[in-house]
Structure 1
Amino acid sequence: MRPSLNNATTRPSSSTVPPYLPFCHHSDLLSPKTSCFIPLFPSTKYPTLQNPKSPSYPHQDPSISPAFGSLVKASMASSEPSAGAATETKPFSVLFVCLGNICRSPAAEGVFRDIVKKKGLDSKFNIDSAGTINYHEGNLSDPRMRAASKRRGIEITSISRPIRPSDFRDFDLILAMDKQNREDILKAFNRWKFRETLPADAHKKVRLMCSYCKKHDETEVPDPYYGGPQGFEKVLDLLEDACESLLDNILAENSDIRGS
């Protein structure tokens, strides 16, 4: 997550930042010149999975050995997909992304999950969130965001994690909270696509969260990290607006989700 900075805004002094807020949660992390920059693009190797060697069978005519023929038929039958599996609809996958994955994106995940559940469609969706940096990996979301969401009846239980290459394969939509987040996501994709097997058009999955807003004119979800309680309420207002429209848009473009 990144605080909105302009000429009239200065970074707050350490005395104004609550003691549990790490100093490194700042947009300066995105600059490679900063000493506490945490790179998002580690070299990742995946172990090759090897199947155990198939057992050898005696070379003989199945018509001469009925038992062997039955074994072959059973094996062929087990490898054929059932009719139910062929018609099963894959859940629509949505990933919400911000800077540290402890304020905006986990709130977006919680809001969207709540809306989907109330419409009885939770089994049709796979919903998750991530960050463009790994500084907060393994942490719960910001307690102020959890408290603000809980007052609206929304529980945030996600654990922070950084975005990873497989996200570009596994998710149908990747929603960035602001333009810098979107830029960092696309940079990650452009680096990873040369060493990972990723869909060539995966960059088209990345969209701005506020592009779905109907009641608000903002183009970005502001980072509330260094602000007061009103900042968290504003974020939730924007997310509730955008998530309602997002679901309507997904259902309109994927009629099989509602009908399956």
Structure 2
Amino acid sequence: MHINLSGKTALITASTGGIGFAIAKGLALAGAEIIINGRSDSSVEKALARLREAAPQAKLSGIAADLGNAQGADALIAALPTVDILVNNAGIYGLADFFEADDDCWDDYWQTNVMSGVRLSRALVPAMVKRGWGRVVFISSESARNVPADMVHYGVSKTAQLSLSRGLAKRVAGSGVTVNSVLPGPTLSDGLADMLEEERARSGKTLEAVAAEFVMSHRPTSLIQRAATVDEVANMVVYVCSTQASATSGAALRVDGGVVDDIL
């Protein structure tokens, strides 16, 4: 299968590192014009430099905007050209006991993980419908279905993304625009690598080995028994954004390594 996204413009939010950057790279290598987004000008410029090395033929640009509030989303929307592919990757995560997570904590997660996608989709999808083609992808998590006891606030926000994605897919049914969610499981992104660095240094093991031990300790139902790579997650997103995936809409597509223990 050869995926060709030439002539398409893709916005990937929070794409200066981790899964977001891997998605941007994958879409760039498939021929799409890429718009990088991050919170600061410096992080965006560094990401663009890295992406130019990985995809030297790609047309690239970047916009700094914090999507944790309406003002940041409005600033990003105002600076955008026509967008054919929207990947709602912006998100935050962290441990917090349910009884200690206050309203401000819940609101931070809701604004970033849910409302950023609402605001961008509301602004960009109508033009996709008018053109008769578009792709919207929400980067959710296996925590949407396997809500962690130590991150209830995070799990709820990720479950909300599944409802948002499915509902929006119904709203644009028959238009040529598809809307899907992708659910990564434990992934060896920058954040996980930083969290495991102390154990890696102490044990002398490779980062991959330490990550595999972490997965089997915290997500023992994993069938691949290791952390996924960011590129493995990005591969699913690139496919969902392709013309070949035109019959896939309203779906929650798992790249969780089999962590969620069911057959659906």
Q: State TM-score, norm by structure 2.
A: 0.26
Q: State TM-score, norm by structure 1.
A: 0.26
Higher Rg of the two aligned structures: 1
